[in-house]
Structure 1
Amino acid sequence: MLDLERLRALHAVATYGSVSAAADVLHVTTSAVSQQLAKLERETGQKLLERNGRGVRLTDAAVLLVEHAARILSLVEQAQADLEAHRGAVVGRLTLAAFPTAIRGLVPAALARLRTDHPGLQVLLREEDPLQSMPLVARGDLDMAVVQDWNNEPLPLPDGLCKGLICDDVADVALPPGHPLAGRDEVDLKELAGDPWISSSPDSICCDWLLRTLRSIDAEPKIDHMAYEFATQLALVAAGLGNVILPRMGRCDVPSEVHVVRLSSPLSRRVYAVWRGEAARRPGIRAATDALRAAVPADLIALTATPQTLVPH
C-alpha cells in the first residue's frame, strides 16, 4: 500500500520543482524528503526522479503517480474536514496569510477572539501579498488567506477556492507638505494626474493597481519611489517626494506634516477571506471567518452594508 507521507513528499517536489523547496514547504530537512522518495521508489518498484543538471526531474512514472497523489491528498483533506464538521469542535491547526494592512488593522483582534472563544484552535499567521497567498491556498500550503478585490480589475479566484466577504475599506490620498491642493477638503484624482507617486514594490497587487488606475485617467504614472510598508511610504511623503493612496483600515500614524485628503470619487477595496472548497466544512474555517468579520473596525462596518465603488489602495 502506498504511504501517504511519501506521496505528499513527491507531490511537493512536483509542485515546487526541487527537493530542497519541497523540504522548506513540508518543514522537514532535505535529507528527510530524499529518504521518503527513496522509500517510495522501493515501494513502487519504479524510478521516480532523474538528475537534470544540478536539479532533478520527474520520470513518466512519477508524473502519473503525482496525478493520483493530488486526488488522494484532496480526498484526505475533505475527509478531515468532514470529521471536524461531524465533531463540531473548533480544534486543530489553521494556517492563515493576510496582506500588511489587514494584518495590522484586522487580524490581531480576530486572533485574540479566536484564542478566547476557541482555545483548541492553533492559528499560524504569515504576511503575504494576495498575488502570493492565493496560489499558496490553492496548492494547500495555506488553509486561508485574507485578500482584496476591486471592480476595475477583479482578483481572479483560482479553481477550487471559495471566498467570503469581510468588509469594504475606503482609501484617501496623502499629500506632501506644500502641495497646492493640501488645504482642500477633497480632491479629484485627475487633479493629481501629473504628480509623482510612491507605491509598494513592483511585484505587489497595490503597485499594479496604481499603474492601471492612473493610466485609466490618461496619466502616465510617475512612480519614483517604492516601499512596501505604509509607514515608510508616509515618511517619503513627509519628505516631499510624492503622493500615496492611503487606506483607512490598518492606517499607521500619519506624520503631522502630511495632509490626508478625501477623494471626491471615493476609492475603496473589498476585503475577502478565501479557502479551498474541500475545507469549507471545517469549523475552524467558519470560526476564523466569523472572527475576521467581528474584528472589522466600527467605522468600516457601515461601508460593508452599503454598496460602494470598489477600488484598492
Structure 2
Amino acid sequence: MIDLRRLRVLRVLAQHGTITATAATLHLTPSAVSQQLKLLGRELGVKLLDHEGRLVRLTPAARVLLEHADVLTAQWERACAELAAHEHEVTGTLRVCGVSSALAALVAPVLPRLHAAHPRLQVEVTEEESADCYELLLTGQSDLAVVLPTPGAPPVTDPRFEQHPVLDDPQDLLVPDGHRLARPEGVELAEAAGEDWIVKTHHNDSYPLLTAACAAAGFAPRVRLEVKEWYAVSAFVAEGLGVCLLPRLVPLPSRYAVARIPLRGTPVPTRRLITCVRRGSSGHPAVGAALAALRDVAAALTAA
C-alpha cells in the first residue's frame, strides 16, 4: 500500500525539478518534502532519488512509478466521486479557482444557483492566473478551475486533467475617445501595429494572448506601460498613453473617456475560457453540479 499524498509530492517534484520549488508549491518545508519521498520509497522498497550535491535526480524506479501515477490518481478520484454520489445530499466544500474575468462573469452567477440547489454545499473561491490554477488542482488545493489555455498550459491530452471549453470571449480594442481608431464599425488589429500597448508582461494571462493575436496580425506589440488590472489599464488608455485588448466580458468603467472598438478581419482575437478538473473527479456530485451550472451561465451569456 502507498500513500497517494506522497505520490502527489513525487509528481510535483517531477514537474518542478527541485525540492525547494516542490516545497513552495505544496506549502511544505524542504525537509518535509524529502521525508515524504523517503517514506514513499520505503513503502515501495525502491530508491526514488539520487542526490548530486544539492540537487536531486529521479531514479529509473521513480520514473516507472510516475508512469502509473496519473492512472492511480485518476482512479482514486473516480472512487471518491462514486462514494460521494451515494450520499443523499451534496455537502462538503467545493474549492473553485480562476482568472478574475471568468470569476466575475461565470463563477459569481453560479454560486447562488449552487446554494439554492445544494444549501449544505460550501464553496470557496480563489482568484489566480491560469498557471497557478493548474498548480492548485494538481496539489489538491482546488477542485475546479476556470482558466485560459495560454501557450504554456497543459495540453488537452494531459492525463492529469479533464479540460473542456465553456465560453469563447471576443477581444475588443480599447482606445481613448477621439482616437483615430475609434470607429464604431470596427477596425482590423493590424491597424494598431504602430500604437503603444498597455499590458503587464510577466505572470499575466493577457500578455501571451496579446502577443499571439498581434503575431497573427503580422506585428509584435510595443509595450510601454506594464499594468494589469483593467480599471487601471482603462485609466492609462483614457489619458492617451496607449491601447489594449479588452475582453468583451470585462465591463468598462464609466468614469473614463475610452472607446471599446470591435475587431474585424480573420482571425478575430478571442479568448477561450475552459473548465479544468483533476481527471476522474468530474463525476463527483459537487464538481458535476458546478460544471453544469457553469455551462448554463455560459450558454446564457452567449445567447445574450
- TM-score of the superposed pair, with normalisation by structure 1: 0.77
Q: Which residue number corresponds to residue 291 of structure 2?
A: 289
Deviations 1:223-253 (A, max 9, x none): 2223222122112212211112212313252
Please show how residues 1-313 of structure 1 align to structure 2 within 5 Å. 1-87=1-87, 89-134=89-134, 137=137, 142-148=142-148, 156-160=155-159, 161-182=161-182, 184-189=183-188, 190-202=190-202, 204-264=204-264, 267-296=269-298, 300-302=301-303
Return the alpha-carbon distance in structure 1 between the equivalents of residues 219 and 51 of structure 2.
51
Q: Which ranges in structure 1 are unaligned for 5 or more consecutive residues? A: 304-313
Aligned equivalents of 1:286, 1:194: Cα separation in 2: 47
For these two proteins, the number of residue pairs brought into alignment is 298
Deviations 1:114-146, CA, capped at 9 Å, x for gaps: 344324434343333335545664676643221
Distance in 2, matches of 1:18 and 1:67, equals 19
Q: Measured at CA, do residues 212 and 72 of structure 1 come closer, stay the same or move farther in structure 2, by a change above 3 Å?
A: closer
Amino acid at match of 1:188: V
Deviates more, 1:261-270 or 1:166-175: 261-270
Change in Cα spacing, 1:44 to 1:28, as seen in structure 2 (3 Å) is same
Aligned partners of 1:219, 1:230: CA distance in 2, in Å?
Answer: 23
Structure-2 separation of matches of 1:236 and 1:49: 51
Give me the whole-angstrom Cα distance separating, in 1, the residues matched to 2:221 and 2:74: 44
Question: Unpaired runs of 5+ in structure 2?
Answer: none
1:80 shift after superposition: 0.9
Contact 2:181 2:187 in 1 (8 A): no
2:194 partner amino acid: G
| 3-state secondary structure, aligned to 1:172 | strand
Q: Which amino acid aligns with 2:36?
A: Q
Q: Which amino acid aligns with 1:73?
A: T
Mean alpha-carbon deviation: is it higher for 114-123 or for 282-291? Answer: 114-123
Amino acid at match of 1:274: C
Distance in 1 between residues matched to 2:72 and 2:302, nearest whole Å: 41
Q: 3-state SS of the aligned residue for 1:227?
A: coil
Residue identity in the other structure for 1:118: H
The 8 Å contact of residues 143 and 278 in structure 2, kept in 1 or not, is answered as: yes
Q: Percent identity?
A: 37
